[in-house]
Amino acid sequence: MENQTILYMLVLSGLSDLPSLQLPLFLVFLLVYLMTLTGNLLIFLLICTDSHLQTPMYFFLGTLACLDMGYSSVTIPRMLFDFHTQKRLISIQACITQIYFIMLFVSSEIFLLAVMSYDRYVAICRPLHYTQIMHWKTCILLVLGVLSFSVGYSLVPVLLLLRLSFCRLNPLQSFFCDFPQLLLVSCSDTFINELLILILAILVGGGIFCPHILPIYNYTEHYYEDAV
């Protein structure tokens, strides 16, 4: 059996190796990042300050703006740091941590968009009972449920990453730590990790597109039948 050197640092390939492009790319992505933060922050503040916008639909939209700020803050600041230092080195622990928060915010956005679609379903199909069904307590519980489920959904595959060892010198072909790219540089068997991601994607994706098994759908139908 060949000796394998365990790696504790990984290399990100980034967007370009040309030194002359580092400053322009830094400025471009800094501008994009500031515009993203400013736009989402303005949306959030406008919803909080305008009483006409304090409805379930805009409550979910404000939450979505916060999640978008979080997702952008996980990837872009690290990329800006790499543009500035031109080292593009990241530790295994920091890489796994970044993957966790990326999965957390992405899954939260997906689940929240599903909740927003069911909110519109109630508004269109049950307009007379909309205010009774989608009251503030329900909206807060739905957002808390989305965040709680996303924490667990993102934690399971990340915990399995901790059992892997990394010994390949191949750089990650990205400007941030990506789950598939990290599996490619592992010298351990990644079959379980890949199988788990596939199973989770099928279960969660099927749950989102099959509303009859979701609690909000069953709740609205049950409430409508009682009201009638």
**What's residue 5's pLDDT?**
57
Report how far residue 80's alpha carbon sits from residue 61's, in angstroms, rounded to the nearest whole number: 28
Q: Please, where are the H alpha helices in 86-190?
A: 92-125, 130-133, 136-161, 179-184
On whether residue 4 sits in a domain, the answer given is no
Mean pLDDT for the stretch of residues 196-220:
66
On whether residue 66 sits in a domain, the answer given is yes
Mean pLDDT for the stretch of residues 181-205:
84
On whether residue 199 sits in a domain, the answer given is yes
Which range has the worst mean pLDDT, 26-40, 55-69, 108-122, 156-170? Answer: 156-170
Q: Does residue 198 surpass a pLDDT of 80?
A: yes
On whether residue 3 sits in a domain, the answer given is no
**What's residue 175's pLDDT?**
82
Mean pLDDT for the stretch of residues 161-183:
82
Which range has the worst mean pLDDT, 26-35, 101-110, 182-191? Answer: 182-191
Count CB atoms within 10 A of the CB of residue 158: 17
CATH, residue 170: 1.20.1070.10
Total domain count, the chain: 1
Buried b (16+ CB within 10 A) or exposed e, 70-82: bbbebbbebbbeb
On whether residue 35 sits in a domain, the answer given is yes
**Cβ-Cβ contacts under 8 Å for 134 (sequence gap 6 or more):** 56, 119, 122, 123
**Mean pLDDT for the chain overall:** 83
Mean pLDDT for the stretch of residues 220-227:
50
Amino acid at site 73: S
**What's residue 36's pLDDT?**
94
Mean pLDDT for the stretch of residues 74-103:
87
Structural tokens at position 170:
């191949």
pLDDT band at 1 (very low <50, low <70, confident <90, very high): very low
Angle 137-140-145 from CA coordinates, rounded to 5°: 120
Q: What is the pTM of this model?
A: 0.84
Pick 42 or 180 by higher pLDDT: 42
Q: What is the pLDDT of residues 32-80, one digit of tens each?
A: 999 999 999 999 999 999 888 888 899 999 999 999 999 999 989 988 8
**What's residue 31's pLDDT?**
95
On whether residue 5 sits in a domain, the answer given is no
CA 35 to chain centroid, in Å, comes to 19
Q: Does residue 218 surpass a pLDDT of 90?
A: no
On whether residue 2 sits in a domain, the answer given is no
Count CB atoms within 10 A of the CB of residue 161: 20
On whether residue 179 sits in a domain, the answer given is yes
Q: Does residue 29 surpass a pLDDT of 60?
A: yes
Under 8 Å between Cβ of 181 and 174: yes
Residue 152 structural domain? 10-227
